Chains A and B, each alone.
Chain A
Amino acid sequence: MNDVTAVKPKIAIIDYQAGNIRSVEKALTKSGAEAVVSSIPEVIESCDGVVFPGQGACDSSMLNLRSHFLDQLILQLIANEKPFLGVCLGLQLLLQHSEEGDEECLGLIPGTVRRFPKGNKIPHMGWNEVNIISDHPVLSGVPNNSHFYFVHSYFAQPTDKDMIAATTIYGIEFCSAVAYENVVAVQFHPEKSGTTGLKIYENFVQFTKMSMDDLP
């Protein structure tokens, strides 16, 4: 068995031309992982864990994913129990469809992505509180109602309430994280949320290490 503390897990960042992935890369490196930015399925598959980042429009992102065969890969990696962290659009695309576009999303999580109702400024941009209701290891050690940085106009609405790991209030109370088994996906940007955010990446690196240790 490997010494868990000495291992530096390789964590893939799925690159499908959707936003600032440099900060994700730096956050992972700072948290003790070897970050591998790639759009090549074989390379991503060979890593110990996967971060699915993303900003921007739903339709163009789904088309980009499909053109690189990454949509099927993501579902397969999750089914194979690979540690998986979705960020922002990387949460929204896991649902079935989005009010933002016409393309079908990945459909891993039953539910829809909805636009914030009128009344508040859109995008929801800035630091807001996250009420964590899950004891998933990737979300552990983060004080409840810590502030994280958000920037989005749409939010995930999973049908199965048990999947909701955290909520945030912006006019309405919405799902700001989902977590189950090997999957964690957050609406906020931990890589832009200072030391509180880095804690999530540190947890994810540890979680990935543990899963490596579990492998035969």
Chain B
Amino acid sequence: MLTKRIIPCLDVDNGRVVKGVSFVNLRDAGDPAELARFYDKEGADELVFLDITASSDNRDTMVDVVRDVSAEVFIPLTVGGGIRQIADVRKMLEAGADKVSLNTAALQDPNVIKEASEFFGSQCIVVAIDAKRNSDIYMSLQEQNVTGWEELKVDLNTGWVVYTHGGRSPAGVDAVKWAQKVAELGAGEILLTSMDSDGHESGYDLELLSLVSSSVSIPVIASGGAGSLEHLQQAIEVGKADAVLAASIFHFGTFSIGDAKTYLANQNIAIRPLGK
């Protein structure tokens, strides 16, 4: 049976892993390759590296990171952040990434999804969707006067709004409609982050998750809000996620990947057993 994937996400700034990775046994908790090895050994099913480097001058450091990690770790590797064009996608794939995640660039020009998936194959094109419940954004949308997105326009009574630029700008686009659109354009997977839940460790946005997951025929990775192992279970069982991504619960050592797998297996969720 196809197993549900557990994916630790690492933020990388100027080639170094940042945002509180606190393991006792690591010589260098900022070294992406060492962390990748650690999580591989723990049984992670896949790794996501998110480049949060602010300056575009330093973007190439991420290529080196991908090259180092892929030389040592033989599990799938997704890279996101700062991917602007086809050339960036190519650079990351050549360095050893298996999938590249597009966010802002896809909203600026959705054809990037189509071009990239036709050229490199859908299997390596992930679209990251950062979504926020609409309640407090009505005004900002009015101000922005977003045009050209009639078919994707958010329903202000029910919808979730997609944000770009690391969650700073509302795009005026409905998350569910956008998910359907990216699937149609050839994306192979959706990485769905709830901005409302992210960082609160009080659980994923299950309503958003199940709505998106049941609206598309491609796999959906749940992101944002994991604080307990039960949350992972809910994302899979209620949210219908195909994979669960988490950062802090793993980085701070609250739970190991092994803990998560044992827990999910005990709930009769298909997972890849450790050491196999």
Contact = CB atoms under 8 A, between A and B. Distances in A.
Chain B: interface size category = 35 or more
A96 interface: no
A159 B98 CA distance: 31
B275 to A, nearest CB: 9
A53 to B, nearest CB: 12
A34 to B, nearest CB: 16
Given A26-B70, A123-B188, A146 B276 contact: yes
Interface string A111-132: 0000000101111111111000
Given A126-B242, A151-B123, A192-B76, 10 more contacts: A19-B93, A56-B120, A121-B217, A121-B242, A122-B218, A123-B218, A149-B75, A153-B122, A192-B98, A194-B75
Contacts of B76: 149, 151, 189, 192
Contacts of A124: 2
Interface in B213-267: 217-219, 242-243
A127 B3 CA distance: 6
Interface string A172-212: 00000000000000000101111111100000000000000
A123 B1 contact: no
A121 B218 contact: yes
A23 B98 contact: yes
Chain A: interface size category = 35 or more
B56 to A, nearest CB: 24
Q: What 4 A-B pairs are tightest by C-beta distance, nearest first?
A: A56-B121, A22-B96, A127-B272, A151-B123
Contacts of B273: 147
A20 B219 contact: no
Interface of B: 1-5, 40, 45, 67, 70-72, 74-76, 93-98, 118-124, 188-189, 217-219, 242-243, 272-273, 276
5 contacts: A19-B120, A26-B72, A55-B124, A123-B122, A126-B243
A125 B242 contact: yes
B188 A20 contact: no
B123 A57 contact: no
A80 B154 CA distance: 61
A18 B273 CA distance: 31
Contacts of A35: none
B43 to A, nearest CB: 9
A141 to B, nearest CB: 14
A170 interface: yes
Nearest to B76: A192
Contacts of B93: 19-20
B121 A192 contact: no
A125 B121 CA distance: 13
Contacts of B243: 126
A19 B124 contact: yes
A23 B94 CA distance: 10
B74 A194 contact: yes
